[in-house]
């Protein structure tokens, strides 16, 4: 599939995780991404347009934690970065998109949820 100006990629079927930020309008931006519709403005829009299932985890923050969250995904055993530059054109990360092998996919939520805590966040 074509990902904007990045080029054309042959992506493996499976689960992917993407980290993005919306300093204004987090919920509206997320809602837009979850529909998979609309103009393809960001790299993730191309992937969302063909995704069979979509899920978002919103992490409100006063500071920009996008790259550190991407770093957590990067360190997950079974995570890989199939497209250099995806979602990371304005930072120094290799990518903000991660392909998740089954063992990595199973651990994504615990990675962002403090132990013993449900949906509530401090």
Q: Give the closest residue to 103 by CA, choosing from 14, 19, 20, 18.
A: 14
Interaction between residue 93 and Zn ion (CB under 5 A): yes
Question: Which span sits near Zn ion by CB under 5 A: 40-48, 53-61, 92-100, 108-116?
Answer: 92-100
Among residues 81 and 108, whose Cβ is nearest to Zn ion?
A: 81
Per-residue x/- mask for Zn ion, residues 13 to 52, rule CB under 5 A? Answer: ----------------------------------------
Interaction between residue 97 and Zn ion (CB under 5 A): no
Q: Smallest distance, Å, CB 13 to Zn ion?
A: 26
Rounded CA separation 66/93 (Å): 10
Q: Count the neighbouring beta carbons within 10 Å of the beta carbon of residue 56.
A: 14
Exactly one of 91, 102, 114, 121 binds Zn ion (CB under 5 A); that residue is 91
Question: Which span sits near Zn ion by CB under 5 A: 1-9, 27-35, 87-95, 101-109?
Answer: 87-95
Cβ-proximal residues to 93 (8 Å cutoff; 6+ apart), any chain: 67, 70, 71
In this structure, the strands spanning 79-80 and 15-18 are: unpaired
Rounded CA separation 74/78 (Å): 9
The binding site for Zn ion (CB under 5 A) comprises 67, 88, 91, 93
């Amino acid at each position: 599939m074509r990902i904007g100006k990045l080029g054309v990629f042959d992506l493996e079927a499976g689960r992917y995780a993407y980290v993005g930020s919306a300093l204004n309008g987090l919920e509206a931006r997320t809602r837009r991404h979850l529909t998979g519709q609309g103009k393809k403005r960001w790299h993730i829009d191309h992937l969302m347009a063909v995704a069979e299932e979509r899920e978002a985890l919103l992490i409100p923050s006063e500071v920009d934690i996008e790259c550190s969250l991407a770093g957590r995904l990067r360190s997950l055993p079974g995570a890989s970065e199939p497209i250099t530059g995806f979602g990371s054109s304005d930072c120094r990360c290799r990518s903000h998109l991660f392909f998740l092998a089954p063992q990595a996919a199973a651990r994504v939520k615990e990675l962002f949820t403090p132990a013993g805590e449900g949906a509530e966040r401090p």
